[in-house]
Structure 1
Amino acid sequence: MRLVANIPHEDVRISVFAWNEKFLVKFEKAGMEQTYKIAEMDIPGDGDLEKMIDEELVDTVLEIFHKMGTAWKEARERMDTL
């Protein structure tokens, strides 16, 4: 796996990797991660992948992180009551 880019963002770490004819776009925040796999052939040109990673996508990713954090917290709370 080869690191292609780090995309700066103040709220989340964004890394793009190339591996097996795919791009892996990895978002990381607070010990959690989301990875999206995109076939290289589905990206028409250079720079188009970074254009796809716009604020609307990042906002959605952050909402999912919030839900993931809530789910984990609730699971831990259930364990504490056993």
Structure 2
Amino acid sequence: MRYIKDLPGSEYKIGLYQWNNKYIIKIESGMYEQTYKIDDYEIQSQEEIEACMDEAFLAAVTDRFNAMHNDFSDSLRRNNILF
């Protein structure tokens, strides 16, 4: 996987990579990570990917991170790992 660059302007670490004819967008927040892939022939330029990191998308990313945290915490409690 080839690192291209970090995408600025967010509370998250957003990295852009390229691998196997796909762009990979990796969004990290603490111990959680979301990954999105798009075929490189679907877009004209990397700037189009950056434009997709808009307020509505990042709000959905935040909701998903919160859900991931809740799901994992619930599982830890359910299995008597976290009290």
**Is the TM value for this pair above 0.5?**
yes
Alignment-derived partner of residue 43 in structure 1: 43
Using the alignment, how far apart are the partners of 1:31 and 1:46 within structure 2?
27
> Where does structure 1 differ by over 3 angstroms across 4 or more consecutive aligned residues?
none
**What pairs up with 1:55-70 in 2 under 5 angstroms?**
55-70=55-70
Say what the alpha-carbon RMSD is for the aligned residues: 1.5
Distance 1:36 1:46 in 2: 14
Distance in structure 1 (CA, Å) of the matches to 2:74 and 2:21: 38
Identity of aligned residues (%): 28
Shift of 1:67: 0.1
Secondary structure at 2:79's aligned position in 1?
Answer: helix
Residue of structure 1 equivalent to 2:18: 18
- Superposition deviation, residue 75 in structure 1: 0.4
CA distance in 2, matches of 1:47, 1:15: 13
> How far did 1:10 drift?
4.4
2:29 match: 29
| Structure 2 unpaired stretches of 5+ | none
Mapped to 2, the partners of 1:16 and 1:52 lie a distance apart of: 12
TM-score, normalised via structure 2 length:
0.88
Q: What CA distance in whole angstroms lies between the structure 1 residues aligned with 2:36 and 2:45?
A: 18
Structure 1 letter corresponding to 2:75: A
Measured in 2, the distance between the counterparts of 1:25 and 1:46 equals 11
